[in-house]
Amino acid sequence: MLVGIDVGGTFTDGVLYGNGRILESVKTPTEDDNLQETIITVLDDLLRGRKGEDIRRLVLSTTLVTNLLAAGQGDEVALILIPGPGLNLRQLQFFPQAHIIKGATDFHGRITEALDGEEVRELGQKIVAAGIEKVAVVGKFSQRNQRQEGQVEEILLARHPHLKVVKGFGVAGELNFPRRAVTTYYTAMTQDAWGEFAASIKRALVQRGITSPIDILKADGGTMPLEASLNSPCETIFSGPAASVMGALALTMDEQTAVVVDMGGTTTDLALILQGKPLHASRGAMLGGYYSHVRSLALRSLPLGGDSAVRWTGEEISLGPDRLGPAACFGGPVATPTDAVNFLAGGHLGPLSLSQEALARVAHPAGLKTETLAQDLVGQVIEVLKDSIKEMFKSWEEEPAYRIWEIVNKQRVKAQRLVGIGAAAQAFVPILAKEVGCPAFVDHYSPVANALGAAVSRPTLSLQVHADTRQGSYYLSLDGIVGRCKGDLQLADVKDLARKHLRQLAAQRGIGQYADRSEVFLAEQFNMVRGWSTTGKLFDVGIKIAPGVIDDYKGV
């Protein structure tokens, strides 16, 4: 049996999956200040009358880190930046509290300005005097040479061994220094809180006789083992929308191009699945208002849901963005877009009279016919969703490309299907699909698709290798791994190197069985020509285990 639990902002969903079907599903309000309590409640409900040891896998998607970031909780962190020449971070108001120190490394990893040891020592004293114990240190091009980040750590720890230093290179090795700084900072900030949470969940599960692997859903639609998550808590953010997209994939189980419309009470999330693969955002997830290196799915969130409150303000009719309760036809206090659909379709969702009365209470003072109001409301919701879908495709098509073949081979894509997820999908997605011009898919499991998606998502792992034969070295974008390479390295060798490291890292994370599913997504090489002769080669190879469902899941 598999368990998937998706902690959402309002509700927490859980499913128990086994023998090719969903055995149980649970929905309960989320208690923001006691997430583990909520999770355990859902788990106990799912397991009622069953044995904990029969669980083979448990996957959690939680909002813990999201909440920490939103509330600015977590540990206080001193951010030390080594930007060298370039953008003026102060003028950009980039982490106004950051400590900017001397030192610089260039794109080849050459140190072009030395650190000032005295400056670092003084800074260390200041940090300790302020009672701060966590330090994030991040250098521009630190992935090309880790020395200066390491020196800062050494200097700080020599005087203050109790400090905990998180280095940028170990957190994210892809190009983009500000995103590395953001990711490193928030990693340092949330690591302990996440660790405590993970430990308490683990204890609770052991008490219930559950010894199965515990996996955490990430923003990219894949999972990671609980142990691996301790080093990268930020990967857990935005896993809720990822759960829904993976749920859509789990319900459809084919390679069509689809738009996932996750329509809840107050918001709607849109995502794209291109030929069976969820589309990732080209920039990393936003953390605290900044882009980060956290890979996430390309999502568009609209402040509009099936229960968005409809009101007459005295001057105009307003829609949302808040929710006062369920739709009137389900016993709620005010008219909602769901009531509009229900009214127009003659009460196929709930009692017609309830929707009609609620709508009339808004329509009459506005001088409208109830029917006109209902039509306007539905029309407007559909219009907004349709435009957003169009924009999503457009922005995917407009992703920058850096090679001739990419531009020449760029294809326009069209949705083959709309997959409706969430409580309000049943009401709106069929109408929306008609407008977009493709079939709608709304399964009876759609309301718990997110929890199902969590339960059956497979692990993902993505890394890049950058090799420089002139320097005879390479580094990985993950875990701060570096190595030596030969001068006659070829692209095929670098791909092998990437595969080897992926296998090792997958094995260390306990997801070794998925290593052979990896695919190379980036393979480029450049000759370094100095004067008129080639003096070396540069390689960039990216390899990943892409999101998908686990092997033993065959659909419901």
User: Which residues make up the interface to other proteins (CB under 8 A)?
Assistant: 85-88, 91-92, 104, 106-108, 110, 112-113, 140-141, 175-179, 283, 291, 302-304, 313, 316-320, 373, 376-377, 380, 384, 398-405, 407-408, 524, 526-529, 532-534, 538
Cα(first)–Cα(last) distance of the chain, in Å?
Answer: 14
Closest distance between other proteins and the C-beta of residue 388, in Å? 9
State the nearest-atom distance from the C-beta of 244 to other proteins, in Å.
21
Nearest one of 371, 198, 186 to 293, comparing CA atoms:
186
Token readout for 378 is: 């539905």
Query: Between residues 35 and 319, which has the closer beta carbon with respect to other proteins?
Result: 319
Count of beta carbons in the 10 Å neighbourhood of residue 430? 17
Nearer to other proteins, 108 or 208 (CB): 108
Q: Which residues contact 289 (CB under 8 A, 6 or more apart)?
A: none
How would you classify residue 221: left for phi > 0, otherwise alpha for psi between -120 and 50, otherwise beta?
A: left
CA-wise closest residue to 102 among 82, 118, 121: 82
CB of 52 to other proteins, least distance (A): 46
Residue 106 or 133: the one with the smaller Cβ distance to other proteins is 106
Closest approach, Cβ 313 to other proteins, in A, equals 8
Query: Helices 352-366 and 370-397: crossing angle, nearest 10°?
Result: 90
548 contacts: CB under 8 Å, gap ≥ 6: 249, 457, 458, 517
Strands 286-287 and 277-278: unpaired
Q: How far apart are CA 540 and CA 214, in angstroms?
A: 33
Nearest approach, Cβ of residue 491 and other proteins (Å): 13
268-274 and 299-302 strand pairing:
antiparallel
Neighbours of 84 (CB within 10 A): 18
Between 90 and 444, name the residue whose CB sits nearer to other proteins.
Answer: 90
Residue nearer to other proteins on the CB measure, 51 or 110: 110
Q: Give the 3-state secondary structure of residue 205.
A: helix
Please check whether residue 392 is in contact with residue 298, taking contact to mean a CB–CB distance below 8 angstroms.
yes
**Among candidate residues 32, 101, 20, the one with its CA nearest the CA of residue 556:** 20
Q: Which is nearer to other proteins, 187 or 450 (CB)?
A: 187
Q: Measured from the CB atom, is 70 or 522 closer to other proteins?
A: 522
Q: Which is nearer to other proteins, 203 or 394 (CB)?
A: 394
Shortest distance, position 168 Cβ to other proteins, whole Å: 12
Q: Is the peptide bond prior to 337 cis by the omega test (within 30 degrees of 0)?
A: no
Residue 28 contacts residue 11 (beta carbons within 8 Å): yes
Letter for the amino acid at 179? R
555: left (phi over 0), alpha (psi -120 to 50) or beta: left
Smallest distance, Å, CB 173 to other proteins?
11
Measured from the CB atom, the residue of 175 and 520 that comes closer to other proteins is 175
Q: Which is nearer to other proteins, 508 or 534 (CB)?
A: 534
Residue 157 or 520: which CB sits closer to other proteins? Answer: 520
Neighbour tally for 401: CB within 10 Å: 12
Nearer to other proteins, 3 or 373 (CB): 373
Least distance (Å) from other proteins to the CB of residue 296?
Answer: 15
Residue whose entry in the numeric block shows the structure tokens 């998607």: 61
| d(C-alpha 538, C-alpha 497), whole Å | 14
**359 token code pair:** 């709508």
Least distance in angstroms from the C-beta of 397 to other proteins:
8
Least separation in angstroms between residue 139's CB and other proteins is: 10
**Two tokens, residue 205:** 């599960």
Smallest separation, CB 341 to other proteins (Å): 15
Surface-to-core class of residue 31, CB atoms within 10 Å of its CB (0-12 exposed, 13-18 middle, 19+ buried)? middle
Q: Residues 493, 131: contact at Cβ < 8 Å? A: no
Question: Nearest approach, Cβ of 320 to other proteins (angstroms)?
Answer: 7
Q: What number of H helices and E strands is found in the chain?
A: 15, 27
Please, what is the minimum distance in Å from the beta carbon of residue 129 to other proteins?
28
Tell me the β-bridge partners of 216.
60, 224
158 or 407: whose CB is closer to other proteins?
407
Instruction: Tokens 């340092």: give the residue.
Output: 188
Look at the alpha carbons of 14, 19, 20, 21 in this order and tell me if their dihedral is positive or negative: negative
